[in-house]
Structure 1
């Protein structure tokens, strides 16, 4: 996978039909779902070229840079030039097991947008990421909608399941069970 993204990085954003309006809309949806504020310490895990982290940083003007985490140096090289974005070369697993330390002791919010499918053991990795959250911290996993109609999600502030529909990878399961405070 690494070589694929190394080769694709310079043209990666050209392979999608993400209009500026869509990037703005999706960035706002992520920020809204996570109840982000300029005071939050936040990270985009699996950020790729930083398309959405850049949109969020532009809208929020965070007091501390958004951590843009990706295992591909070539993808991180495509980040928009901004003091509001801070690249960190690491996989989600390396962050979760603290092989690669974060510059912040804890994060207030993090998101994985269309990147969790690259994680070998999502349950273990998401539990590890959740442990890096400050009290009241929020974790969002955004995926392309699967064919399943089963739905489950987390309330951003409590880590408990909510009635707001979020598509799941397979019918009848909620991989988020056991995450967040009980």
Structure 2
């Protein structure tokens, strides 16, 4: 009986250590932030899993320049590998990225963020978004105990397209002329 209880206690202890704590979740969020605000390939290698995938229709929309038939179809992975992410992110300028709130469960971190990325037009529009970071627990096998495995990110890509000068608002159009045809 005693060995059974010790076995259960050991198993529960091992399982609990594989779950994100508040401190670990904040570290994951800050690690992700660093890949936006101060990107290096070394940081990406340290904080992302080798099987990394990133999904963001918002980023796909930016990559497509707002065009519906661009190279990145909505719903498809934005970056289907770590190497693809590194090649793209390594060419980007530093982007201001403020973490507004962090939530987590055992394996995922959700964060709400805002960027005041200066654009080419005035007044610049603030961009706010939500990101879900699925993690992989690797324990002491790496520098980070939780690696970011999959990213699901959405944000106001319309404001970003406006800030880049790609989207020109039609502020005088009637509400009926602004609907999106879902047929």
> Which category of TM-score, normalised to the shorter sequence, fits these structures?
under 0.3
Larger Rg: 2
Q: TM-score, normalised by structure 1?
A: 0.25
**Larger proportion of helix:** 2
The alignment's TM-score, normalised by the length of structure 2, stands at: 0.25
Higher relative CO (Cα under 8 Å, sequence separation at least 6) belongs to 2
